[in-house]
């Protein structure tokens, strides 16, 4: 028996494994982009809650790009929300110079609220 055969009907190569021919399937190469914490959180979410989407992205070779895009969107949205909330609540550089601890408390509160919004709208949606 031949080690490799080609099936013209479906255009696939098959490799002999024991007594069976197994299709030679590979995942297309993905663009390598860094994935941050938001992308990793979303990955865990789709692995657990949206298995069909995860499988489709993984087999099509678009998972890395998808997660990197989600991470960029989440980061951008979070920084924009933090800036808008800080302006609305009067958390300025002047406050930072006058009372650093109060500024840190308010910025931590703003960051936490912005992260909650981003998680609800992008990461776990």
pLDDT digits (tens, 9 = 90+) for 56-115: 998 888 999 999 999 999 999 999 999 999 999 999 999 999 999 999 999 999 999 999
Strand (E) positions, the chain?
Answer: 4-7, 12-17, 20-23
103 CB-near residues (< 8 Å, 6+ apart): 91, 95, 96
pLDDT digits (tens, 9 = 90+) for 21-69: 999 887 667 678 899 999 999 999 999 999 999 999 988 889 999 999 9
Q: What is the pTM of this model?
A: 0.75
């Amino acid at each position: 028996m031949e080690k490799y055969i080609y099936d013209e009907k479906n255009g696939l190569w098959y490799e002999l494994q024991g007594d069976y021919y197994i299709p030679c399937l590979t995942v297309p190469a993905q663009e390598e982009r860094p994935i941050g914490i938001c992308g990793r959180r979303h990955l865990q979410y789709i692995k657990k809650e949206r298995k069909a989407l995860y499988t489709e992205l993984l087999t099509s070779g678009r998972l890395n790009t998808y997660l990197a895009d989600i991470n960029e969107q989440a980061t951008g949205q979070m920084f924009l929300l933090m800036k808008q909330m800080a302006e609305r609540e009067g958390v300025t550089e002047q406050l930072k110079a006058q009372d650093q601890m109060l500024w840190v408390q308010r910025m931590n509160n703003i960051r936490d609220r912005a992260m909650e919004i981003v998680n609800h709208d992008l990461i776990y949606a």
